[in-house]
Amino acid sequence: MIPAAFDYVEAESVDAAIAALTEHGDEAKLMAGGHSLIPLMKFRLATPGVIVDIGRMEGLNSIDDRGDHIAIGALTRHMSVETSELLGAEAPLLKHVASQVGDPSVRHRGTIGGSLAHGDPASDLPAAILALGATLVAKGPGGEREIAATDFFTGFLETALADDEMLTEIRVPKMAGAGWSYQKFNRRAQDWAIVGVAAVSNGSTSLSLVNMGPTPMRASAAEAAINGGGSIDDAAAAAADGASPPDDLNGDAAYRTHLASVLVRRALTEAQG
């Protein structure tokens, strides 16, 4: 399978990438590691007219301690996230979730920014940044702005990023000492989650769901139950409230609803244990 023809532009800086996006509008797509975009292009599910290659750009690939949060450059590869001692100490959920993406060869190339900007409801990292309450930084022609993770995923494979904006940084609050869990249920190694649940318990508890609707999402009803003094059983019963899980060959909506309940129970048991 070969992608449809496109024009190739290399951007050596964020400003050059934004200039290319501004010039080419919605015809252009940014490519970092390409491990979400190239598969779609090979299936011709994506046929961008212009690829703006940001994968060879210098910078935006460090993981820095900024006091109350950890800043991760958008071009940081999954393998760097999963092997980061800083994240292991301050945001172990994110380090663990990165290790669950694809397989090692995929994680050598794929980037955290690419995965988040792709906005796939079935992928792992969106759930982690939702549960962690991360902030995303986007840069466009008008400058930089911050977007809360909860406002970032707006539709199926759609995000709050404008056509001329580039995701540059992910800011993750420190959660050292907090309870956490990531429950990924799949049938085959290296596969996407059929359903996944991320939990962070740090005074209050946040919960997010993988593959339970058109976007990555918080499990708001289950959060309200557990944070309102309900039991783990109460939260598990509300796991899929407000979700609209897909039917596919891996399972129908009813099966996913059941799985979400089981996985919320496991995640809360682990995070609060």
Partner 1 sequence: MLVETTINGQTYSADVEPRTLLVHYLRDHLGLTGTNVGCDTSSCGACTIHIGGESVKSCTVLAVQARGAEITTIEGMAGDDGTLHPMQQAFMECHGLQCGYCTPGMVMAATSLLSENPNPTEAEVREGLEGNLCRCTGYHNIVKSVMAAAGSPVTIGAGS
Q: Using CB under 8 A, list all residues that contact partner 1.
A: 1-8, 31, 34-35, 38-39, 41-42, 51, 53, 55-56, 79, 102-106, 108-109, 189-190
At its nearest, how many Å lie between partner 1 and the CB of residue 223? Answer: 32
**Distance in Å, CB of 35 to partner 1, minimum:** 6
Cβ nearer to partner 1, comparing 105 with 244: 105
The residue (of 35 and 218) whose beta carbon lies closer to partner 1 is 35
Q: For residue 122, give both structure tokens.
A: 């079935």
Q: Cβ 180 to partner 1, closest distance in Å?
A: 21
Q: Which residue, 79 or 116, is less far from partner 1 as judged by CB?
A: 79
For the bound state, the minimum distance from the C-beta of residue 249 to partner 1, rounded and expressed in Å, comes to 15
| Dihedral over Cα of 137, 56, 116, 24: its sign | positive
d(CA 34, CA 32): 5
Tell me whether residue 7 or residue 23 sits nearer to partner 1 (CB atom).
7
Residue 83 CB, nearest distance to partner 1 (Å)? 8
Helix, strand, or coil (residue 140) = strand
> Closest approach of Cβ 60 to partner 1, in Å?
16
Smallest separation (angstroms) from partner 1 to the CB of 86: 19
Residue 57 vs 86, nearer CB to partner 1:
57
| Of the candidates 55, 50, 58, 61, the residue with the CA atom closest to the CA atom of residue 25 | 50
Nearer to partner 1, 189 or 249 (CB): 189
Residue 74 burial (10 A CB sphere; 0-12, 13-18, 19+) = buried
Residues 21-26: contacts with CB within 8 Å, 24+ apart?
A: 21/52, 21/163, 21/164, 21/165, 21/166, 22/141, 22/164, 24/49, 24/50, 24/52, 25/163, 25/164, 26/163
Q: What does the DSSP 8-state code read for residue 189?
A: T
Considering beta carbons, is residue 39 or 59 the nearer one to partner 1? 39
Q: How far apart are the C-alpha atoms of 245 and 212, rounded to whole Å? A: 4
Spatial distance between the Cα atoms of 159 and 169, rounded to a whole number of angstroms: 15
